[in-house]
Chain A
Amino acid sequence: MKLTHVDGEHKKNLVLYTLSTCVWCKKSKTLLSDLHVAYDYVNLDELTGEERDRAIEELKQWNPKCSFPSLVVDNGTCVVGYDEKKIREALEL
Protein backbone atom coordinates (compact mmCIF):
# COMPACT_ATOMS: atom_id res chain seq x y z
CA MET A 1 0.00 0.00 0.00
CA LYS A 2 1.40 3.34 -1.06
CA LEU A 3 1.69 5.76 1.85
CA THR A 4 2.31 9.47 1.48
CA HIS A 5 4.88 10.76 3.94
CA VAL A 6 4.56 14.11 5.65
CA ASP A 7 7.75 15.41 7.24
CA GLY A 8 8.02 16.46 10.85
CA GLU A 9 9.46 15.34 14.15
CA HIS A 10 9.41 11.55 14.52
CA LYS A 11 7.52 11.06 17.78
CA LYS A 12 5.71 7.83 17.00
CA ASN A 13 5.03 5.72 13.96
CA LEU A 14 1.80 7.24 12.67
CA VAL A 15 -0.36 5.89 9.87
CA LEU A 16 -3.47 7.91 9.09
CA TYR A 17 -6.21 6.26 7.02
CA THR A 18 -8.18 8.95 5.23
CA LEU A 19 -10.51 9.85 2.37
CA SER A 20 -9.62 12.63 -0.05
CA THR A 21 -13.09 14.17 0.32
CA CYS A 22 -13.47 13.87 4.09
CA VAL A 23 -13.39 17.15 5.98
CA TRP A 24 -12.67 15.50 9.36
CA CYS A 25 -9.71 13.72 7.73
CA LYS A 26 -8.47 17.07 6.52
CA LYS A 27 -8.72 18.42 10.07
CA SER A 28 -6.69 15.46 11.36
CA LYS A 29 -3.97 16.09 8.78
CA THR A 30 -3.91 19.77 9.72
CA LEU A 31 -3.69 18.90 13.42
CA LEU A 32 -0.74 16.53 12.90
CA SER A 33 1.01 19.13 10.77
CA ASP A 34 0.34 21.83 13.39
CA LEU A 35 1.85 19.50 16.01
CA HIS A 36 4.93 19.21 13.75
CA VAL A 37 4.92 15.41 13.88
CA ALA A 38 5.93 13.17 10.99
CA TYR A 39 3.21 10.86 9.69
CA ASP A 40 2.13 8.78 6.73
CA TYR A 41 -1.33 8.79 5.23
CA VAL A 42 -3.29 6.98 2.59
CA ASN A 43 -6.49 8.15 0.89
CA LEU A 44 -8.40 4.88 0.54
CA ASP A 45 -10.89 6.30 -1.94
CA GLU A 46 -8.03 6.89 -4.37
CA LEU A 47 -6.93 3.24 -4.32
CA THR A 48 -8.31 0.67 -6.73
CA GLY A 49 -8.46 -3.10 -7.15
CA GLU A 50 -6.40 -5.38 -4.93
CA GLU A 51 -4.51 -2.51 -3.32
CA ARG A 52 -7.80 -1.03 -2.14
CA ASP A 53 -9.10 -4.39 -0.89
CA ARG A 54 -5.89 -4.99 1.05
CA ALA A 55 -6.02 -1.50 2.58
CA ILE A 56 -9.64 -2.06 3.67
CA GLU A 57 -8.75 -5.42 5.27
CA GLU A 58 -5.80 -3.81 7.02
CA LEU A 59 -7.92 -0.97 8.38
CA LYS A 60 -10.65 -3.39 9.50
CA GLN A 61 -8.10 -5.03 11.82
CA TRP A 62 -7.86 -1.72 13.67
CA ASN A 63 -11.32 -0.35 13.16
CA PRO A 64 -14.01 -2.87 12.10
CA LYS A 65 -16.33 -0.01 11.11
CA CYS A 66 -13.74 1.03 8.54
CA SER A 67 -14.51 4.68 9.24
CA PHE A 68 -12.35 7.74 8.65
CA PRO A 69 -10.09 9.20 9.82
CA SER A 70 -8.38 6.34 11.66
CA LEU A 71 -4.97 7.00 13.15
CA VAL A 72 -2.82 3.95 13.96
CA VAL A 73 -0.14 4.78 16.51
CA ASP A 74 3.02 2.65 16.75
CA ASN A 75 1.23 -0.27 15.17
CA GLY A 76 -0.54 -0.74 18.51
CA THR A 77 -3.49 1.57 19.05
CA CYS A 78 -6.04 3.25 16.80
CA VAL A 79 -7.73 6.60 17.33
CA VAL A 80 -11.01 6.64 15.41
CA GLY A 81 -12.43 9.94 14.20
CA TYR A 82 -11.11 13.45 14.58
CA ASP A 83 -10.66 13.72 18.33
CA GLU A 84 -8.00 16.28 19.16
CA LYS A 85 -7.78 15.25 22.83
CA LYS A 86 -7.38 11.54 22.06
CA ILE A 87 -4.88 12.23 19.30
CA ARG A 88 -2.78 14.40 21.62
CA GLU A 89 -2.97 11.71 24.32
CA ALA A 90 -1.92 8.99 21.90
CA LEU A 91 1.03 11.11 20.85
CA GLU A 92 1.82 11.91 24.50
CA LEU A 93 1.75 15.63 23.73
Chain B
Amino acid sequence: MSDAGEITAHEVDALYEQLLSDGQRSGYRLNGDVGFVRDLVKGLIFNQRRYSYAACPCRLASGSKEDDLDIICPCDYRDADLNDHGACYCALYVSQAVLRGEKELTSIPERRPSPDERVHAKAGGEQTSPVGSLPYPVWRCKVCGYLCAREEPPESCPICTAKQDRFERFM
Protein backbone atom coordinates (compact mmCIF):
# COMPACT_ATOMS: atom_id res chain seq x y z
CA MET B 1 0.00 0.00 0.00
CA SER B 2 1.60 3.22 -1.12
CA ASP B 3 0.83 6.83 -0.36
CA ALA B 4 -2.26 7.60 -2.37
CA GLY B 5 -1.57 11.35 -2.49
CA GLU B 6 -4.01 14.22 -2.73
CA ILE B 7 -7.39 13.61 -4.33
CA THR B 8 -8.56 16.69 -6.20
CA ALA B 9 -12.11 18.06 -6.28
CA HIS B 10 -11.96 17.62 -10.03
CA GLU B 11 -11.36 13.86 -9.68
CA VAL B 12 -14.24 13.57 -7.23
CA ASP B 13 -16.50 15.55 -9.60
CA ALA B 14 -15.57 13.35 -12.53
CA LEU B 15 -16.33 10.04 -10.78
CA TYR B 16 -19.46 11.47 -9.16
CA GLU B 17 -20.81 12.52 -12.57
CA GLN B 18 -19.93 9.12 -14.03
CA LEU B 19 -21.70 7.22 -11.25
CA LEU B 20 -24.69 9.52 -11.56
CA SER B 21 -25.03 9.03 -15.31
CA ASP B 22 -24.34 5.26 -15.11
CA GLY B 23 -27.01 5.03 -12.45
CA GLN B 24 -29.52 7.04 -14.43
CA ARG B 25 -28.94 4.80 -17.43
CA SER B 26 -29.32 1.55 -15.51
CA GLY B 27 -31.96 2.45 -12.94
CA TYR B 28 -29.79 2.82 -9.86
CA ARG B 29 -30.10 5.96 -7.79
CA LEU B 30 -27.34 7.70 -5.90
CA ASN B 31 -27.97 8.93 -2.38
CA GLY B 32 -29.38 12.46 -2.52
CA ASP B 33 -26.99 13.72 0.17
CA VAL B 34 -24.33 15.09 -2.16
CA GLY B 35 -21.77 15.76 0.60
CA PHE B 36 -22.14 12.18 1.86
CA VAL B 37 -21.80 10.77 -1.65
CA ARG B 38 -18.76 12.91 -2.43
CA ASP B 39 -17.07 11.53 0.70
CA LEU B 40 -17.81 8.00 -0.50
CA VAL B 41 -16.55 8.83 -4.00
CA LYS B 42 -13.34 10.13 -2.47
CA GLY B 43 -13.02 6.84 -0.58
CA LEU B 44 -13.52 4.89 -3.80
CA ILE B 45 -10.78 6.89 -5.55
CA PHE B 46 -8.50 6.41 -2.54
CA ASN B 47 -9.09 2.65 -2.58
CA GLN B 48 -8.60 2.49 -6.35
CA ARG B 49 -5.21 4.09 -5.85
CA ARG B 50 -4.01 2.09 -2.90
CA TYR B 51 -5.45 -1.33 -3.83
CA SER B 52 -5.77 -0.91 -7.63
CA TYR B 53 -9.47 -1.70 -7.31
CA ALA B 54 -12.34 0.41 -6.00
CA ALA B 55 -13.28 -1.56 -2.90
CA CYS B 56 -16.27 -0.38 -0.86
CA PRO B 57 -15.06 2.52 1.31
CA CYS B 58 -17.02 1.13 4.28
CA ARG B 59 -15.44 -2.32 4.25
CA LEU B 60 -11.96 -3.51 5.12
CA ALA B 61 -10.29 -4.59 1.89
CA SER B 62 -7.62 -7.28 2.07
CA GLY B 63 -5.46 -5.86 -0.70
CA SER B 64 -6.02 -9.05 -2.71
CA LYS B 65 -8.38 -8.37 -5.59
CA GLU B 66 -9.35 -12.03 -5.85
CA ASP B 67 -10.52 -12.04 -2.23
CA ASP B 68 -12.35 -8.74 -2.60
CA LEU B 69 -14.18 -9.15 -5.93
CA ASP B 70 -17.47 -9.20 -4.02
CA ILE B 71 -16.89 -5.77 -2.48
CA ILE B 72 -15.70 -3.91 -5.56
CA CYS B 73 -18.26 -1.14 -6.06
CA PRO B 74 -21.02 -1.80 -7.05
CA CYS B 75 -20.75 -4.76 -4.69
CA ASP B 76 -22.42 -8.18 -4.93
CA TYR B 77 -24.71 -7.20 -2.07
CA ARG B 78 -26.10 -3.96 -3.48
CA ASP B 79 -29.35 -5.25 -4.95
CA ALA B 80 -30.32 -7.36 -1.95
CA ASP B 81 -29.57 -4.49 0.43
CA LEU B 82 -31.53 -2.03 -1.73
CA ASN B 83 -34.48 -4.40 -1.58
CA ASP B 84 -34.27 -5.10 2.13
CA HIS B 85 -32.98 -1.82 3.55
CA GLY B 86 -33.47 0.83 0.87
CA ALA B 87 -29.73 1.39 0.55
CA CYS B 88 -26.55 -0.47 -0.24
CA TYR B 89 -24.15 -1.10 2.64
CA CYS B 90 -22.28 2.21 2.38
CA ALA B 91 -25.46 4.03 1.22
CA LEU B 92 -23.94 5.24 -2.04
CA TYR B 93 -27.01 3.78 -3.75
CA VAL B 94 -30.50 4.16 -2.34
CA SER B 95 -34.02 3.08 -3.22
CA GLN B 96 -36.60 5.49 -4.62
CA ALA B 97 -38.42 5.50 -1.27
CA VAL B 98 -35.26 6.69 0.49
CA LEU B 99 -34.54 9.24 -2.21
CA ARG B 100 -38.06 10.63 -1.91
CA GLY B 101 -37.60 10.87 1.84
CA GLU B 102 -40.33 8.30 2.55
CA LYS B 103 -37.92 5.94 4.28
CA GLU B 104 -35.23 6.93 6.73
CA LEU B 105 -31.67 6.07 5.88
CA THR B 106 -29.72 4.25 8.57
CA SER B 107 -26.55 2.25 8.90
CA ILE B 108 -27.50 -1.29 7.85
CA PRO B 109 -26.25 -4.74 8.89
CA GLU B 110 -23.34 -6.28 6.99
CA ARG B 111 -24.55 -8.92 4.54
CA ARG B 112 -21.10 -10.00 3.45
CA PRO B 113 -20.09 -13.27 5.15
CA SER B 114 -17.62 -12.87 8.02
CA PRO B 115 -13.88 -13.37 7.39
CA ASP B 116 -14.09 -16.87 8.93
CA GLU B 117 -17.11 -17.80 6.78
CA ARG B 118 -15.32 -16.59 3.65
CA VAL B 119 -12.25 -18.70 4.44
CA HIS B 120 -14.54 -21.68 5.01
CA ALA B 121 -16.44 -21.07 1.75
CA LYS B 122 -13.20 -20.75 -0.18
CA ALA B 123 -11.89 -24.02 1.29
CA GLY B 124 -15.15 -25.70 0.23
CA GLY B 125 -14.42 -24.90 -3.42
CA GLU B 126 -16.93 -24.58 -6.26
CA GLN B 127 -20.42 -25.84 -5.59
CA THR B 128 -21.97 -27.88 -8.35
CA SER B 129 -25.70 -28.18 -8.54
CA PRO B 130 -27.46 -31.38 -9.51
CA VAL B 131 -28.87 -31.54 -13.04
CA GLY B 132 -32.40 -30.21 -13.18
CA SER B 133 -32.17 -27.93 -10.16
CA LEU B 134 -31.31 -24.25 -10.21
CA PRO B 135 -29.38 -22.52 -7.45
CA TYR B 136 -31.49 -19.38 -7.95
CA PRO B 137 -34.90 -18.58 -9.40
CA VAL B 138 -34.79 -16.79 -12.77
CA TRP B 139 -36.76 -13.56 -13.08
CA ARG B 140 -37.92 -11.98 -16.34
CA CYS B 141 -38.65 -8.33 -16.96
CA LYS B 142 -41.97 -8.30 -18.79
CA VAL B 143 -41.09 -4.97 -20.40
CA CYS B 144 -37.78 -5.80 -22.06
CA GLY B 145 -37.18 -9.49 -21.41
CA TYR B 146 -34.12 -9.02 -19.22
CA LEU B 147 -33.40 -12.19 -17.27
CA CYS B 148 -31.62 -12.46 -13.97
CA ALA B 149 -30.93 -15.34 -11.60
CA ARG B 150 -31.15 -14.15 -7.98
CA GLU B 151 -33.30 -14.49 -4.87
CA GLU B 152 -35.56 -11.59 -5.80
CA PRO B 153 -35.98 -9.34 -8.83
CA PRO B 154 -34.18 -5.97 -8.67
CA GLU B 155 -36.01 -2.83 -7.63
CA SER B 156 -35.88 -1.71 -11.24
CA CYS B 157 -34.68 -3.36 -14.43
CA PRO B 158 -31.05 -2.47 -15.17
CA ILE B 159 -31.84 -2.44 -18.89
CA CYS B 160 -35.10 -0.55 -19.24
CA THR B 161 -35.66 0.70 -15.65
CA ALA B 162 -39.08 -1.01 -15.42
CA LYS B 163 -40.16 -1.40 -11.80
CA GLN B 164 -39.94 -4.57 -9.72
CA ASP B 165 -43.63 -5.33 -10.13
CA ARG B 166 -43.07 -5.80 -13.87
CA PHE B 167 -40.96 -8.91 -13.23
CA GLU B 168 -42.34 -12.43 -13.42
CA ARG B 169 -40.89 -15.72 -12.26
CA PHE B 170 -39.49 -17.29 -15.43
CA MET B 171 -37.83 -20.49 -14.16
What is the interface of chain A, defined by CB distance below 8 A to chain B?
19-27, 44-45, 48, 56, 60, 64-68, 80-83
5 contacts between A and B (CB under 8 A): A19-B58, A23-B57, A23-B90, A45-B61, A82-B107
B90 pairs with A24, CB closer than 8 A: yes
SS class, residues of chain A in contact with chain B: loop
| Residues of A close to B40: CB separation below 8 A | 23
Q: Which of B14-22, B111-119, B120-128, B135-143 contacts A (4 or more CB under 8 A)?
A: B111-119
Contact for A24 among B1, B42, B107, B112, CB less than 8 A? B107
| Residues of B close to A67: CB separation below 8 A | 59, 110, 112
A43: nearest residue on chain B (CB-CB)?
Answer: B60
B57 pairs with A22, CB closer than 8 A: yes
Q: In whole angstroms, how far apart are the Cα atoms of A8 and B90 in the complex?
A: 28
B31-61 contact mask (Cβ, 8 Å, vs A): 1 or 0: 0000010011011001100000000011111
B84-102 contact mask (Cβ, 8 Å, vs A): 1 or 0: 0000001100000000000
Q: Does B109 contact A (CB under 8 A)?
A: yes
A22 pairs with B112, CB closer than 8 A: no
Q: In whole angstroms, how far apart are the Cα atoms of A21 and B107 in the complex?
A: 15
A21 pairs with B43, CB closer than 8 A: yes
B114 pairs with A81, CB closer than 8 A: no
B58 pairs with A22, CB closer than 8 A: yes
